[in-house]
């Protein structure tokens, strides 16, 4: 079975300008609608940054972006580290749902997306990263677009463990 992971698409994450944010949100909405129509789980991951006083649990900044489509059958998981697997119930939920393949999207490419891709890789999940479904901000040494392009290349080029990581566009996934 397959699942869509939507990582850190929270109000507070977008207080900083994110690269092509509107397009990423639109693509995630297309994907989540597709997953729901095909009876595949949609899992929202929310960062609880209470320790850092950012993305504080329960405050507006912690909430999922209102422009993202949500459904009463979606799953929600809180995390406190970049890797969505670290000290969360994500892995047990995936096992309970018999998920072997993950489609990963969200924010931020160079932090929580990258850490979760690696976390899933070492747990032998079959992974597809949504090429046009993740975003980040400019950093001191690189522009956001460069970071996104680099990570898309990196993930597709990693030596596979059990499965090679696929990097596909929203259109490729919706038409496969």
* Reported confidence tier of residue 127, pLDDT bands at 50, 70, 90: very high
Question: For the residues 60-75, what does the mean pLDDT come to?
Answer: 98
pLDDT > 70 in the chain, percent: 100
Residue 116, classed as helix, strand or coil, is: helix
Task: State the Cα–Cα distance between residues 54 and 81, nearest whole angstrom.
Answer: 13
CATH number, domain of 120, equals: 3.40.50.850
The number of domains in the chain is 1
Question: For the residues 51-77, what does the mean pLDDT come to?
Answer: 95
Q: Give the CA count within 13 Å in the CB-facing half-sphere of 142.
A: 12
Task: State the Cα–Cα distance between residues 114 and 120, nearest whole angstrom.
Answer: 10
Read off the pTM. 0.97
Which residue range(s) make up the domain with 163? 2-174
pLDDT digits (tens, 9 = 90+) for 135-168: 999 999 999 999 999 999 999 999 888 999 999 9
Q: Give the CA count within 13 Å in the CB-facing half-sphere of 135.
A: 21
């Amino acid at each position: 079975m397959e699942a869509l992971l939507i990582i850190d698409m929270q109000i507070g994450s977008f207080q900083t300008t994110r690269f092509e944010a509107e397009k990423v949100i639109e693509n995630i909405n297309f994907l989540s609608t597709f997953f729901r129509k095909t009876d595949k789980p949609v899992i929202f991951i929310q960062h609880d940054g209470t320790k850092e006083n950012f993305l504080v649990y329960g405050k507006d900044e912690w909430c999922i972006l209102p422009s993202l489509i949500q459904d009463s059958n979606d799953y929600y998981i809180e995390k406190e580290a970049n890797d969505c697997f670290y000290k969360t119930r994500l892995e047990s939920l995936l096992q309970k749902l018999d998920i072997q393949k993950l489609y990963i999207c969200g924010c931020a490419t160079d932090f929580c997306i990258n850490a979760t891709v690696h976390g899933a890789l070492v747990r032998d999940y079959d992974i597809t990263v949504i090429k046009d479904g993740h975003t980040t901000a400019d950093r001191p040494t690189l522009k956001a677009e460069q970071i996104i392009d680099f990570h898309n290349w990196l993930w597709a080029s990693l030596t596979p463990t059990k499965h090679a990581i696929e990097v596909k566009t929203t259109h490729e996934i919706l038409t496969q």
